[in-house]
């Protein structure tokens, strides 16, 4: 029946004042089609995280952090050349000896725990030998690698540390057991131990009560959308909801939710639990190492007061303008680097191709041209910063903010 059939007495098919029956869904759909509203049911609208748009807003309104466009363009080319030389791709993730190697659900659990606790490793100790570190496989691991080593060590000791039902079992998973898991080889404990325990308890409750005890079910619910998985994680897990107010506007940074998705994508080479059709919506991860690297490259500049504060290792409060400007501007800077690389090297298609490297009938060519996205640029910048740190070549310290967000 045509919706607006003249023979039909005029009535609003949605709300007929004389009837208390529900609006006829067929009529609602017909009306939506007639008004051109149809077809875009909420489930069809592609999910967005809003992180990149918020990062641009922060950059546009930043006072103490700025970008140097010429240096950013120059750095883009340097980064591109170095990434090509190292054949940087998703495979690089698994090349790290401590990262889990099996491509199964156990590794999904490992990565979830890793990125649940992937924050604030920096030590307040000036004396390097006294800083928190984890002894594993005959080596002392610090920073992010101390976390990965602690998880691997616990698994070697038959502690089911990656199982969410263990985290909520306070009879067996006591604080003492967790202190043992994260025990340091020095007198300094892992930073924010209590907050890490709280993250595990909370996330364990959510996973066990809402997702059948495994993060694999969250991945399934996201229907291979990276942005959808970021939004699902930040909606259901408070300890991933990395957002704040800047200039009166709510801004999302979502560092650990995004690196969680990125680690899955890299570990599984864009397949299986790592397959996402919109992986390029993931931005750089706003931590405390990339801003340092971007400053070292001359891309990012600080006001004299901020720079002297950072150089004197003074703390910067979580959520303060200085901190949000550092984090948001670094996200935007990596986006500009990514755009510059794509402009200079049109042969590079987005890394959303499987595993981040371009399919090619010429294997040599594939080896030389790897897809580029913010994730791979970020991973490269982090790993490069860690090399500079090992070589005592840091030109400026990283900023000191204590928080569970990064
Ligand atoms: N933006 C960004 N931040 C990253 C990483 C990683 C490690 N990712 C591995 C996976 C693939 C890559 O190739 C890396 O090998 C850790 N972090 C953050 O840094 C801080 C730790 O610093 P430090 O204490 O010095 O280790 C802390 O906020 C931590 O959350 C990254 O990749 N990108």
The answer to the question of residue 140 being in a domain is: no
Residue, of 6 and 158, whose pLDDT is higher: 158
CB 316 within 8 A of CB 322: yes
- Evaluate: CB of 96 within 6 angstroms of ligand 1: yes
Mark whether 21 is an active-site residue: no
- Evaluate: CB of 59 within 6 angstroms of ligand 1: no
- Evaluate: CB of 399 within 6 angstroms of ligand 1: no
Ligand 1, atom 7, lies closest to the CA of 144
The answer to the question of residue 259 being in a domain is: yes
Residue, of 367 and 256, whose pLDDT is higher: 256
- Evaluate: CB of 290 within 6 angstroms of ligand 1: yes
Band (349; pLDDT cuts 50, 70, 90): low
The count of domains in the chain is 1
Give burial (CB, 10 Å; 0-12/13-18/19+) of 141.
buried
Work out which ligand 1 atom sits closest to the CA atom of 290: 1
For 239-243, 315-319, 344-348, which range has the lowest pLDDT when averaged over its residues? 344-348
| pLDDT at residue 20 is higher than 90 | no
CA 383 to ligand 1 centroid distance, Å: 8
The answer to the question of residue 61 being in a domain is: yes
Domain assignment of residue 370, given as a range: 48-94+224-390
The answer to the question of residue 148 being in a domain is: no
The answer to the question of residue 59 being in a domain is: yes
> Residue 158 to residues 67, 153, 161, 337: CA-CA distances in angstroms?
48, 9, 8, 44
**pLDDT tens-place string over residues 238-278:** 999 999 999 999 999 999 999 999 999 999 999 999 999 99
* Highest mean pLDDT, choosing among 2-11, 149-158, 362-371: 149-158
Ligand 1, atom 1, lies closest to the CA of 285
Work out which ligand 1 atom sits closest to the CA atom of 146: 26
The answer to the question of residue 211 being in a domain is: no
The most distant pair of C-alpha atoms in the chain lies apart, rounded to whole Å, by 89
- Residues with Cβ within 8 Å of 251's Cβ and at least 6 positions away in sequence, in order, are 54, 55, 57, 58, 243, 244, 245, 324, 328
- Evaluate: CB of 335 within 6 angstroms of ligand 1: no
Ligand 1, atom 25, lies closest to the CA of 143
CB 168 within 8 A of CB 205: yes
Residue of 299, 301, 302, 296 lying closest to 388 (CA atoms): 296
CA 80 to ligand 1 centroid distance, Å: 20
- Evaluate: CB of 405 within 6 angstroms of ligand 1: no
Tell me what ipTM this predicted complex has: 0.99
SS3 category, 300: strand
The answer to the question of residue 7 being in a domain is: no
Work out which ligand 1 atom sits closest to the CA atom of 266: 11
pTM: 0.88
Q: CA-to-CA distance for 247 and 391, rounded, in angstroms?
A: 39
**pLDDT tens-place string over residues 43-94:** 578 899 999 999 999 999 999 999 999 999 999 999 999 999 999 999 999 9
Give the active site residue among 242, 263, 280, 287.
287
The answer to the question of residue 104 being in a domain is: no
**CA atoms within a 13 Å half-sphere pointing along the CA-CB vector of 395:** 10
Pocket test for ligand 1, best of 258, 260, 282, 287 (most atoms within 8 A of CB): 287
DSSP H or E segment with residue 265? helix 255-267
pLDDT of residue 9: 44
Ligand 1, atom 8, lies closest to the CA of 379
């Amino acid at each position: 029946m045509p919706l607006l059939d003249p023979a039909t007495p005029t009535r609003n098919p949605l709300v007929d004042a004389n009837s208390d029956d529900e609006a006829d869904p067929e009529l609602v759909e017909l009306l939506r089609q007639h008004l051109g509203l149809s077809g875009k049911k909420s489930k069809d609208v592609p999910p967005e995280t809003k992180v990149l748009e918020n990062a641009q807003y922060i950059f546009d309104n930043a006072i103490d952090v700025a970008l140097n466009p010429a240096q950013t363009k120059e750095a883009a080319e340097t980064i591109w050349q170095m990434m090509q030389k190292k054949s940087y791709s998703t495979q690089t993730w698994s090349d790290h000896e401590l990262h889990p190697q099996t491509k199964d659900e156990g590794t999904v659990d490992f990565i979830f725990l890793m990125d649940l606790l992937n924050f604030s490793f920096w030590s307040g100790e000036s004396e390097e030998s006294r800083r928190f570190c984890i002894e594993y496989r005959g080596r002392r691991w610090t920073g992010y690698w101390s976390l990965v080593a602690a998880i691997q060590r616990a698994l070697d000791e038959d502690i089911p540390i990656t199982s969410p039902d263990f985290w909520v079992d306070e009879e067996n998973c006591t604080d003492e057991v967790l202190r043992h898991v994260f025990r340091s080889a020095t007198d300094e404990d892992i930073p924010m131990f209590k907050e890490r325990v709280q993250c595990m308890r909370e996330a364990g409750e959510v996973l066990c009560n809402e997702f059948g005890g495994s993060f694999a079910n969250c991945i399934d619910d996201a229907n291979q959308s990276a942005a959808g998985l970021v939004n699902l994680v930040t909606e259901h897990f408070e300890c991933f909801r990395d957002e704040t107010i800047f200039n009166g506007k709510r801004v999302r940074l979502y560092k650990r939710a995004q690196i969680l998705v990125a680690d899955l994508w890299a570990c599984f080479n864009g397949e299986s639990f790592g397959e996402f059709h919109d992986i390029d919506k993931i931005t750089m991860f706003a931590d405390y190492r990339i801003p340092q690297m971007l400053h070292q490259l001359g891309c990012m500049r600080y006001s004299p007061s901020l720079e002297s504060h950072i150089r004197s290792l003074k703390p910067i409060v979580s959520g303060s303008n200085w901190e949000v400007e550092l984090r948001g501007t670094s996200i935007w800077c990596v986006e500009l680097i990514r755009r510059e690389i794509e402009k200079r090297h049109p042969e590079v298609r987005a890394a959303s191709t499987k595993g981040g490297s371009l399919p090619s009938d010429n294997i040599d060519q594939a080896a030389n041209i790897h897809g580029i996205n913010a994730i791979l640029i970020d991973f490269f910048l982090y790993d490069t910063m860690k090399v500079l740190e090992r070589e005592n070549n840091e030109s400026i310290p990283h900023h000191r903010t204590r928080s569970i967000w990064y």
